[in-house]
Amino acid sequence: MNTNFTFAGQESVYKGKVREVYTLKDDILVMVATDRLSAFDVVMPKGIPYKGQILNQIATKMMQATEDLVPNWLMATPDPNVAVGKACEPFKVEMVIRGYLSGHAAREYKAGKRSLCGVPMPEGMKEHDKFPVPIITPATKAEKGDHDEDIAREDILKRGIVSEEDYKVLEEYTRKLFERGTEIAAKQGLILVDTKYEFGKTKEGQIVLIDEIHTPDSSRYFYAEGYQDRQDRGEPQKQLSKEFVRQWLISNGFQGLEGQKVPEMSDAYIESVSNRYIELYESITGETFQKADVANIHERIGQNTGNYLNTAIYS
């Protein structure tokens, strides 16, 4: 749930909702994926076994599978829970792209809205229908404790959050990544429904992909087989994403609103969530998940990461 390392050349530590980021000298970042679970921008009191490893390993595979399209921050993954890469100045927007009317978009649509972030949504759609063309619906990056907020492209430019020149690159990269992610998912019998990408700028001025990509925390997947039959019959889609956690929380009276209390998660429920994450890993990668040894996880992470830094970076 938490780490407290001191790596060679360490200058500062930032603890996000799920990841802990250690900034080292020479513009090097060490990102540790914990087992913390966040939903509705609230960190749940209990962790999900192997979740950090799963997120880190999927993100690594997807970064490697898209680096010919879009440059990224990643240099190495010296441990199952750790990524090491180049420090960047993050853009203060998340580039959300949606191929289907699901999740937040579906909730807004059901409430009567036909525009999201200034992008029109066609009339007559049902939940989980495919958009004619994927839509980009950005969100502002929240400060700690606040909810991310939808924002239109025009407002991003008007408020100077991102320059028009850079924003065009972000849009281009977002569409390219979503197209590649869709192809990768299709090979595994999945549909990439929607996802978010985050970008930063290196000291040299290069725009690169940062954070995670195509993981169950940042993306929603459906099983392709039976998708159309389920739509035609008005049945829920069989999906692999964190949405099942959100729906469980909603059904137990929690949506991250003021005064609401996080429902108790039993050990059996936590194990079921862990198994769902493993299922997604195996479905999206086509590989059997190998559980890392967690008997002395802090020692393992510290040793593997320290050895890499001492030999590859600061030797």
Q: What is the pLDDT of residues 193-243, one digit of tens each?
A: 999 999 999 999 999 999 889 988 889 999 999 999 999 999 999 887 777
Domain that includes residue 199, residue range: 90-243
The pLDDT of residue 279 is 87
Residues 130/100, Cβ–Cβ less than 8 Å: yes
Assigned domain for 6 exists? no
Residue labelled with tokens 């240099």: 75
Neighbour tally for 145: CB within 10 Å: 8
Mean pLDDT of the chain: 93
Assigned domain for 176 exists? yes
The pLDDT of residue 145 is 47
Mean pLDDT of 110-136: 97
Assigned domain for 271 exists? no
Domain count, the chain: 1
Share of the chain above pLDDT 70, in %: 98
Assigned domain for 274 exists? no
Residue 146 pLDDT more than 60?
no
Assigned domain for 237 exists? yes
The pLDDT of residue 57 is 96
Assigned domain for 14 exists? no
CATH number at residue 96: 3.30.470.20
Assigned domain for 53 exists? no
Confidence of residue 247 (pLDDT cuts 50, 70, 90): confident
Residue 144 pLDDT more than 60?
no
Mean pLDDT of 288-293: 96
CA atoms within 13 A on the CB side of 37: 24
The pLDDT of residue 244 is 81
Least confident of 68-72, 104-108, 198-202, 273-277: 273-277
Confidence of residue 143 (pLDDT cuts 50, 70, 90): low
Residue 189 pLDDT more than 90?
yes
pTM comes to: 0.89
Closest CA to 34 of 49, 58, 48, 18: 18
Angle ∠(284,132,169) on CA atoms, nearest 5 = 70
Assigned domain for 182 exists? yes
Mean pLDDT of 24-52: 92
- In angstroms, the CA 7 to CA 30 distance is 9
Beta bridge partners of 39: 42
The pLDDT of residue 280 is 83
Residues 64/116, Cβ–Cβ less than 8 Å: no
The pLDDT of residue 291 is 97
